[in-house]
Amino acid sequence: MVNNMEQNIVLYALFGASIIAFLGSLYACARVRLNEKVLASLDWETLANLTGEVGAMKRSLQKTNSRISGMTSSDPATIIGDLPKMQAVPDHNVQQLRGG
């Protein structure tokens, strides 16, 4: 048979859980009410403009990403191997440019 104290603990735990669930539902209702109030001024024309702007930004970001990925090699070993070639600039080419 279950002890009276254990029953009280279970009762209080369930009561606490129900209060937490009730407060969570109040919070959700408040968020829905706030979203409905904010979105009330949104019409179809504004939504279409936002959709177009998002599409334009997406295309621009894709172009930028493709340009960036085309500049560098995806293999880190290749990049490290190319560093000495990039750093070693012959001096006679620089002197020819300066001399005219």
DSSP state of 94: H
∠ Cα 80 81 86 (to 5°): 90
Average pLDDT, the chain: 82
Task: Report in angstroms the alpha-carbon separations of 95 from 27, 29, 36, 77, 92.
Answer: 73, 75, 70, 32, 5
Q: Are 79 and 72 in contact (CB under 8 A)?
A: yes
Which residues constitute the domain of residue 31? 1-42
28-52: pLDDT as tens digits: 999 999 999 988 888 888 888 889 9
Any domain includes 17 = yes
**Domain count for the chain:** 1
Q: Answer yes or no: is 10 within a domain.
A: yes
Residue 94, in any domain of the structure: no
Nearest-5° Cα angle at 40, 37 to 42 = 130
Predicted TM-score (pTM) of the model is 0.43
